[in-house]
Amino acid sequence: MNRTKQPLSSLYIHIPFCAKKCDYCDFNSVVSESGIIDHYLHAVERELNVFEGKYSYDTVYIGGGTPTIVNENQIKTLLSIVNKHIKNKKAFEYTVEANPGTLTKNKMKLLRDYGVNRISVGIQSFQDDYLKFLGRIHSGAIATKCVELLVSEGFKNINVDLIFGYPGQTLDEWMQDLQRVVELKPEHISTYALTYEGETPLVKKARNGLVIKLDEDVELEMYQTAMRFLRENNYCHYEISNFAKPGYECSHNINYWNNKEYLGVGAGAYSFIDGERSMNERSVSHYIKGIEESTNVKVFRESLPLHTFASETIVMALRMMRGMSGKDFYDRFGYKIGEQFGAQISDLKRLGLLNDDDERLKLTEKGLFVADSVMAEFL
């Protein structure tokens, strides 16, 4: 049997600080306190040094939180720390997530000069009422200006994140956001339905009847509208929530969806190395203390049995429009997909939710709209 090991090709660095916690946010992020960011960056450096020379990365992704909340000196420190570990300049994608309310022209210049070649901007909406509803720190006008400035500073690979499905939102309002984003011509657009997860202020408001969730049918119509409109505007729909101009698909995320191995550094970061998935201490202060004391901050580790890993690999691959290749599956796991999932595949094909016409298992358009239920059949 062929074990599932793939070369480690991605590095993720988590910067868990934000200017303010957004009302819908269930990510591992905290409002930054003065002084702690320097300690945190030092801890990140120590954690990364443990892996010095061990891996070569094709993609680096600095996410958060809000990586662009750090000041200019801290940006220099952070990128110098990360750049020491980058050897593989070939096919290299280097992304930093940005909040338009924290990304100044000087910070853009620094990011560019230190080799960052992709910026993912969390705009969410161009409409100030919805930005206020989310608790974002920026306006639609600032978000627009941010993308324009990034272009004028020479960034040629920009992603814009948008959210749809706000309580009371109309299809017309969503179309206005889609039109606005297309006018800005980013290379990549991600669209997500508003989610009610964790114990966020938004979830509490919904529980208390202060917020009425949008009807699911309207939300589905918004998703279909985005698919149609973005395709018409030459964005390729390559993953459930992601659209890109040809050649600008996000390699870092594709590595995740291919269930490949990666190293995650920072508070709450996940890693997947040598068949083992692990997670770092989530609390920023515990993470810093743990690194100072021992450099070992893992609070969770699991080695997945082969069949579980195979299931997860299919589920992740089905997120992508190109789906799962039967040959790749066989090469990785040493048996055919049908041996483990023959019954599920037949049922889902009969229901018109899956097809495997060209030796690849993928969601049909109908399957796309009930993707969660289809994927659940493989878990």
Q: Footprint of ligand SF4 on this chain (CB under 6 A)?
A: 18, 21-22, 25, 27, 29, 64-66, 99, 122
- In angstroms, the CA 373 to CA 21 distance is 31
Nearer Cβ to ligand SF4 (18/288):
18
* Nearest approach, Cβ of residue 66 and ligand SF4 (Å): 5
Complex with ligand SF4: residue 25 or 320, whichever CB lies closer: 25
Paired tokens of 301: 């580790």
**Smallest distance, ligand SF4 to C-beta of residue 67, A:** 10
Quick one: 74 or 355, whose CB is closer to ligand SF4?
74
The DSSP H or E segment spanning 263 is strand 262-265
Q: How far is the CB of 127 from ligand SF4 (least distance, A)?
A: 17
Measured from the Cβ of residue 130, the count of other Cβ atoms closer than 10 Å reads 21
Question: Count of alpha carbons within 13 Å of 333, Cβ hemisphere only?
Answer: 25
User: Shortest approach of ligand SF4 to residue 5 CB, angstroms?
Assistant: 32
**Is 165 or 367 the residue whose CB approaches ligand SF4 more closely?**
165
Residue 44 or 103 with smaller CB distance to ligand SF4: 103
The amino acid sitting at 273 is: I
Amino acid at 189: I
What is the closest distance, in whole angstroms, from the C-beta atom of residue 27 to ligand SF4 in the complex? 4
The stretches of 135-207 forming alpha helices (DSSP H) are: 140-152, 171-184, 201-207
* CA-CA-CA-CA dihedral for 301, 305, 310, 315, to nearest 10: -50
The CA distances from residue 310 to 6, 257, 259, 279, 370, in Å, are 13, 13, 9, 21, 21
Toward ligand SF4, which CB reaches closer, 186 or 323? Answer: 186
Residues 62 and 82: beta-carbon distance below 8 Å: yes
